[in-house]
Structure 1
């Protein structure tokens, strides 16, 4: 079953669908670093299928450069499946041409993806004087629809933030659903929380699914998974870090555990990459200590409660939880791309490690397996992780859709 991933980012949705047996014909993404990540990952899947996975591990260990890795173990057609272009305007015809060449004009069964969410998000609207009404990203769903009209897949999956429901008093969401219906698709949506699908994070998202009106299909019933694990349990086998410590390659400090085995996050490799902590100044570290001490007493730090000497913002009425400790004994709060700018909202839950989350810790909270490598450096990796759909939730969506497609076939 062939699929196209639009606005694909680092490929969290794709990872779940590939694991369920779907074939990615193309990924379309504007961010160059995310495209390099996708190219690395499709090469990983190729080597895994060929039984040559040790070549990938050599790259992760730094034994060979990325150029050598891609040229020697990838192939040109595989790299071409990652299309580094913005969706819309004149680019669409070029993208269609590339996809047709890649697919050999074979049928596209599925399209997945979700346009950038900043225009719909509550935070984005609160920070913009026009409430994001003039942001062109509000209408990127129409570009998504052009791909539906071009390829007429049996089914599509559209993921986005909850703010979409209320943006423009609900007008964008209603227009979106009407638009998809006008080009021949029945649509339904539900709100899924990734924590119900094995992800150790409270992350609610709209999952809108559409299917061709003449196609016998219905919105899937997803299988939820009881969650009995914690963030501390998820991260306990990773090396302790100091602020600014850069462990591009390190060993695990304990054996694997039930969670990592069940959800295949550790992958059976004896090393881990990108366990990298960002540096922090003394002021931030002092605030982090206060936040951790409060959290251990069952309280959350509010910005106005800080000593005056530690405050740098005059605004003490909004975003008062800008310094937030991850709940080590439970689930993390939602991971977002802002983690690329600072780590204040993702403080590691241990006063013996006063710092923000490392790249690998953030990736694990998003349910990326340890053999998933993010290209472009620390900041680019954080951005890709924060923007991603958790692969474990994506995999459950993929499995459910695959089962229904099999029944219909």
Structure 2
């Protein structure tokens, strides 16, 4: 394609944001192959298995398996066949571990002293030296917490000093049609100095914080709806059996271990609020899923709302299958992951929900004049005319 717009992908992982980049012209929650004017020229990550997944799904993308701290911007541009100022976008989500709630019990994370937090500076370095037209950075909501305000301030300052307007906002994936109550912060900037306007919310419903519903918007998408049509193919290790097997099977849909306290209808086994919310958590089929975690413990949900028999015929809760996890993260069904079940969940849990990435990148591309706001797809021949308004 002569009208391909080149993209550099940092901290690419399995390619969730890359998938959003290359499908941003498609309608919401639709993967019809209509694509996008954007193409990821080069992607880099230090996770070899995740990059194998990316390469399987994006055979045209060149990959660099290396720690970003040892990769020069000039090498990135060279591999991509680009010069400074030529990339349309730099995208990426630096590892979120330093800012995530999981691990907040570690003092260095609580005090924002995790050395991996410096990876934000590497993102700024590449943007500053590559000078793309715009950038999109994604991370966990925890980056905006007061405990990490110095890291966020340094990130915003560095990007602005590199010549970009910068806007950031925490988005709830379910409010954009993703069947998942996943909150992520997006930081978006433009080299031309124009502000980026985040896309309007399209869906409304109950979340873990809000009980109000806006009837002028579409209802949240429930997991039962998105699981429709998936083959009922069991997976090895999906049955949750063992120490808490019976207890997990007795938890009703939408409930968690609190069911088994003296305040609810189960067995009075656990003390009130003595565990994490996700412990023994079951999906409510009519509501979005809670956040899919990359490395859940054996009793960390969400588990499916239906029970299945174990080898002895006893009913047990079951873990979500890979096709179900892909639907929750709005990956295309045909997207292939490399690795065993545990490795695949790690890649999926670390990814950006494709539809959430799509809606942000589409808004950016529309505002930059590369996509028609009316939904007719790429309009590269009108780029210069659009930018004059």
Query: TM-score normalised to the size of structure 2?
Result: 0.77
Count of residue pairs the alignment pairs up: 329
Q: Which residue does the alignment assign to 1:281?
A: 241
Among 324, 327, 332, the alignment partner of 1:361 is 324
Find the residue that maps to 1:142 and give its secondary structure. helix
Q: Which residue does the alignment assign to 1:272?
A: none
Among 86, 97, 120, the alignment partner of 1:118 is 97
Q: Give me the whole-angstrom Cα distance separating, in 1, the residues matched to 2:231 and 2:58.
A: 28
Q: Which residue does the alignment assign to 1:349?
A: 305
Q: Give me the whole-angstrom Cα distance separating, in 1, the residues matched to 2:114 and 2:184.
A: 21
Structure 2 residue 23 is the aligned partner of structure 1 residue 19:
yes
Report which of the two has the higher share of helix: 1
- 1:154 Cα offset (Å): 1.4
Matches within 5 A, 1:80-119: 81-88=62-69, 91-93=70-72, 96-105=74-83, 107-119=86-98
Report which of the two has the higher share of strand: 2
Q: Which residue does the alignment assign to 1:227?
A: 219
Is the contact between residue 343 and residue 356 of structure 1 (CA under 8 Å) also seen in structure 2? Answer: no
Q: Give me the whole-angstrom Cα distance separating, in 2, the residues matched to 1:127 and 1:220.
A: 36
Structure 2 residue 361 is the aligned partner of structure 1 residue 385:
no
Q: Give me the whole-angstrom Cα distance separating, in 2, the residues matched to 1:105 and 1:152.
A: 9
* Structure 2 unmatched runs, 5+: 25-35, 203-217, 309-315, 370-385
Is the contact between residue 193 and residue 204 of structure 1 (CA under 8 Å) also seen in structure 2? Answer: yes
RMSD of aligned Cα (Å): 2.6
Q: Give me the whole-angstrom Cα distance separating, in 2, the residues matched to 1:281 and 1:142.
A: 44
Find the residue that maps to 1:350 and give its secondary structure. strand
Q: Give me the whole-angstrom Cα distance separating, in 2, the residues matched to 1:129 and 1:216.
A: 36
Q: Deviations over 1:370-399 (max 9, x none)?
A: 100110121111001101111111111121
- 1:97 Cα offset (Å): 1.6
- 1:221 Cα offset (Å): 3.7
Is the contact between residue 2 and residue 108 of structure 1 (CA under 8 Å) also seen in structure 2? Answer: yes
Is the contact between residue 7 and residue 114 of structure 1 (CA under 8 Å) also seen in structure 2? Answer: yes
- 1:238 Cα offset (Å): 2.2
CA gap 1:187/1:218 in 2 versus in 1, 3 angstroms: same
Q: Give me the whole-angstrom Cα distance separating, in 1, the residues matched to 2:322 and 2:283.
A: 14
Matches within 5 A, 1:106-255: 107-128=86-107, 131=110, 133-168=112-147, 170-212=149-191, 215-225=192-202, 226-227=218-219, 229-240=221-232, 245-246=235-236
Higher RCO, 1 vs 2 (CA within 8 Å, ≥6 residues apart): 1
Q: Deviations over 1:168-194 (max 9, x none)?
A: 352221222112222222211112111
Q: Give me the whole-angstrom Cα distance separating, in 2, the residues matched to 1:184 and 1:229.
A: 39
CA gap 1:104/1:131 in 2 versus in 1, 3 angstroms: closer
Q: Which residue does the alignment assign to 1:291?
A: 251
* Structure 1 unmatched runs, 5+: 44-77, 247-276
Matches within 5 A, 1:392-407: 392-406=355-369, 407=386
